[in-house]
């Protein structure tokens, strides 16, 4: 196929994060040795991050349907109807490992990625949230991680122009070597103008949009799935740099071409950019995709097909365009100063064909790249049930006042003002309830409807009893929504765990997912989007199980929303519930 292909050795296969049996699967599937570009494509498609190979089996059991759900898990983001012809698009995603290595850029590009997921579907982002977990405050790295991550989240969101309205921050020594950055974005969309990744029609142009491709983050996708070793900082994997300015232009240009009815299908380039986006568009549409890779706008000279297919440069999109709209779409992108290049076309072959100056670099069955990804039912050990302790056995240590003082002094309960004041939480002029309450409340356009939005999880509960902890996270999100007067509608999850190849970690994962599922079913509070981040582990020490829940609820009339502040002197204080 390609004379320059390096020999595919077992070492090379291992470096691509593929296990020998996974490589065998590739050989069986294509009936020959893959080229290096093909190996790269498989490694990107079949890693944990893209294929969900350890988690997929368990996620199938989630409660995902309700009459108001327009799009459940499986697209860029979930969509729920809120009436009046409007829908809400939202999702949460992790950027944990990159934020540990380069806190500012890692967090920034995490926010950028989730915003793109939302506006790729045609929605204008109206709110962002984030859930952050850091190591012990006394750990030498914690301080700089906190300031870098918070500045990065703010730096991207503030510049892009979305209000960051809420979130959570926790500290625990178990995150010393693996902090968590979970970012959520919420957008508003007209139900008749939703865009999906599914390509249709043969011979339609495949268009590259946004910033140029560089060599950044080429091993990003694999990095996100490999356990950290002590030498992580030495390996210095390339971290992507975010350009919120380019993303803001991309948002405006995308919404403009969508409004002008130019788009058949669109997909953002996230992890393993061009590969994942092209495969997804083709596979979902039962079509092949051919790319002439030399047409991809590049930032650097001499990039190989392998590099272009695996680059994780930010602020890029792939689109299938209505052919008659080519000139119009291109003019819009040029006006916003963005790259626009026709890089390929849809074909009837169901093959993923990559050519570089005419030379075939990869020729793979497109559906199988996704569908035939390995699927593991990894062995798991249920977390042993803890005995229920009688009240009397927990002797009081000191007075009530001591206990209160201890609680108030805990970094986990301290005011988070230092964090959320670095986020523009007021831009767009709809933030009715600002950070500091139970849920954020964001008005829909000029009202009277509003959304309540929250992120919640209590990792210590999840560790003590994954099933109950999973339930509790969902219930807490539900409670935070109803506390503002909202009707809870749906959630996105973001499941952060340690190494799934360890049965006790897998046990935590399975338990939490069951708990989430149970609570969602009982509350009719479906999961419409989610993200899994595994291998959050350093030198064999895993993080606390942290299944973050992002909940969204609807308030019919924002004038009736409740907030946590006491309103006047002399009012009665009631406690309800058990």
Partner 1 sequence: MKSAVVLFPGSNRERDAVRALRLVCGSEPKVVWHGDSELPSGTDLVVLPGGFSYGDYLRCGAIAARSPVMDAVRKHADAGGLVLGICNGFQILCESGLLPGVLMRNAQMRFQCRVVGLRVENSDTPFTRGYNAGQVIHIPVAHGEGNYEADAETLTRLEGDGRIAYRYCGPNGELEPKYNINGAIASIAGIVSEKHNVLGLMPHPENHVEEQMGSTDGRGLFAGMLEHVSRAA
Partner 2 sequence: MKARVTVTLKPSILDPQGKAIEGALKSLGVGGIASVRQGKIFEIEVEGGDKAKAEAALKQAADKLLANTVIENYRVEIE
Closest separation in Å from C-beta 38 to partner 2: 24
Helix or strand (DSSP H, E) at 27: helix 20-30
Residue 308 in the binding site for ligand ADP (CB under 6 A): no
What is the pattern of x (binds partner 2, CB under 8 A) and - over residues 66-105? -----------------------------------xx--x
- Can residue 22 be called a binding residue for partner 2 (CB under 8 A)? no
- The catalytic position among 16, 63, 95, 356 is 95
Decide which of ligand ADP, partner 2, partner 1, none touches 523; Cβ closer than 5 to 8 Å per partner kind: none
State the nearest-atom distance from the C-beta of 300 to partner 2, in Å.
7
CA 230 to chain centre: 26
- Residue 300 in the binding site for partner 2 (CB under 8 A): yes
Q: Give 283: exposed, middle or buried? Use CB within 10 Å, 0-12, 13-18, 19+.
A: buried
Q: Is residue 129 a contact partner of residue 419, using CB atoms and an 8 Å limit?
A: no
Does residue 245 interact with partner 1 by CB under 8 A? yes
Q: Is residue 260 a contact point for partner 1 (CB under 8 A)?
A: no
Q: Point out which span in 78-86, 391-399, 415-423, 506-514 binds ligand ADP (CB under 6 A).
A: 415-423
**258 and 193 Cβ atoms separated by less than 8 Å:** yes
DSSP 282-333: HHHTT-EEEEEGGGS-BSSTT--HHHHHH---SSEEEEEE-GGGHHHHHHHH
Q: How far is the CB of 75 from partner 2 (least distance, A)?
A: 28
Structure tokens at 172: 């625990």
Residue 16 annotated among the catalytic residues of the structure: no
- C-beta closer to partner 1: residue 116 or 367: 116
Judge whether 357 counts as a catalytic residue: no
CA distance linking residue 88 with residue 376, whole number of Å: 33
As a whole number of angstroms, the distance between CA 363 and CA 35 comes to 9
Window of 238-246, 318-326, 526-534, 542-550 that interacts with partner 2 by CB under 8 A = 238-246
CA distance 218 to 225: 13
Among 325, 416, 479, 521, binds ligand ADP (CB under 6 A): 416
Written as six digits, the tokens of 232 are 């992580």
User: Residues 170, 412: contact at Cβ < 8 Å?
Assistant: yes
Give yes or no for residue 167 binding ligand ADP (CB under 6 A).
yes
Q: What is the distance between the alpha carbons of residues 191 and 175, in angstroms, rounded to a whole number?
A: 40
Q: Is 337 in the site for partner 2 (CB under 8 A)?
A: yes
Closer residue to ligand ADP in complex, CB, 131/538? 131
Q: Does 128 bind partner 1 (CB under 8 A)?
A: no
Q: Would you count residue 420 as binding ligand ADP (CB under 6 A)? A: yes
Which of the residues 538 through 557 are near ligand ADP (CB under 6 A)? none
Q: How far is the CB of 416 from partner 2 (least distance, A)?
A: 22
Lookup: tokens for 450? 């509003």
Q: Which of residues 104-123 bind partner 2 (CB under 8 A)?
A: 105
Is the C-alpha dihedral spanning 111, 117, 120, 122 positive or negative? negative
Tokens of 277: 């986006």
169 binds, among ligand ADP, partner 1, partner 2, none (CB under 5 to 8 A by kind): ligand ADP
Distances (CA, A) of 379 to 18, 147, 158: 19, 39, 44
Q: Which residues bind ligand ADP (CB under 6 A)?
A: 130, 132, 164, 166-169, 416, 419-420, 423, 435-438
- The residues annotated with a catalytic role in the active site are 49, 95
């Amino acid at each position: 196929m390609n004379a320059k292909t390096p020999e595919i050795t077992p070492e090379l296969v291992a470096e691509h994060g593929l296990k020998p049996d996974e490589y065998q699967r590739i050989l069986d599937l294509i009936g020959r040795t893959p080229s290096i570009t093909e190996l790269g494509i498989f490694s990107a498609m079949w890693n944990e991050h893209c294929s969900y190979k350890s988690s997929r089996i368990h996620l199938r059991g989630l409660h995902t349907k309700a009459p108001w759900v327009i799009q459940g898990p499986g697209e860029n983001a979930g969509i729920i109807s809120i009436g009046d012809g409007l829908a809400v698009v939202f999702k949460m995603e992790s950027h944990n490992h990159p934020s540990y290595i380069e806190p500012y850029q890692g967090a920034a590009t995490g926010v950028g990625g989730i915003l793109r997921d939302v506006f790729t579907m045609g929605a204008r982002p109206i709110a962002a949230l984030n859930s952050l977990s850091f190591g012990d405050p006394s750990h030498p790295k914690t301080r700089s991680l906190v300031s870098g991550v918070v500045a990065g989240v703010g730096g991207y969101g503030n510049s892009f122009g979305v209000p960051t309205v809420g979130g959570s921050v926790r500290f625990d020594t178990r995150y010393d070597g693996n902090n968590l950055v979970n970012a959520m974005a919420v957008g508003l969309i007209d139900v008749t103008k939703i865009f999906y990744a599914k390509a249709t029609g043969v011979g339609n142009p495949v268009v590259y949009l946004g910033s140029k491709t560089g060599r950044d983050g080429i091993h990003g996708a694999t990095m996100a799935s490999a356990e950290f070793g002590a030498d992580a900082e030495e390996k210095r994997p390339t971290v992507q740099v975010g350009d919120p300015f380019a993303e803001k232009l991309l948002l405006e240009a995308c919404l403009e071409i969508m409004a002008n009815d130019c788009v058949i299908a669109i997909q953002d380039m996230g992890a393993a950019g061009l590969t994942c986006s092209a495969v997804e568009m083709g596979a979902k549409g039962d079509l092949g995709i051919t790319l002439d890779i030399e047409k991809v706008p590049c930032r650097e000279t001499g990039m190989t097909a392998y590099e272009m297919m695996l680059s994780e440069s930010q602020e890029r999109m792939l689109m299938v365009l209505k052919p008659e709209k080519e000139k119009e779409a291109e003019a819009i992108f040029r006006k916003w100063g963005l790259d626009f290049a026709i890089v390929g076309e849809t074909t009837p072959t169901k093959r993923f064909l990559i050519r570089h100056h005419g030379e075939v670099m990869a020729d793979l069955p497109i559906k199988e790249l996704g569908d035939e990804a390995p699927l593991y039912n990894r062995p798991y050990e249920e977390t042993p049930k803890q005995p229920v302790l009688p009240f009397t056995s927990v002797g009081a240590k000191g007075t009530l006042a001591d206990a209160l003082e201890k609680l108030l002094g805990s970094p986990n309960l301290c005011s988070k003002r230092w964090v959320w004041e670095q986020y523009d939480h007021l831009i767009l002029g709809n933030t009715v309830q600002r950070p500091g309450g139970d849920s954020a409340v964001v008005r829909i356009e000029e009202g009277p409807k509003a959304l309540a939005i929250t992120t919640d999880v209590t990792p210590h509960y999840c560790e003590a009893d994954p099933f109950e902890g999973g339930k509790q996270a969902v219930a807490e999100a539900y409670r935070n929504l109803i506390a503002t007067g909202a009707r809870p509608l749906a959630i996105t999850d973001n499941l952060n765990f340690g190494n799934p190849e360890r049965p006790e970690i897998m046990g935590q994962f399975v338990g939490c997912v069951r708990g989430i599922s149970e609570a969602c079913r009982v509350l009719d509070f479906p999961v419409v989007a989610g993200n899994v981040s595994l291998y959050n582990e350093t030198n064999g020490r895993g993080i606390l199980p942290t299944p973050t829940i992002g909940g969204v609820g609807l308030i019919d009339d924002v004038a009736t929303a409740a907030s946590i502040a006491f309103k006047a002197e002399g009012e009665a204080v009631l406690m309800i519930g058990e």
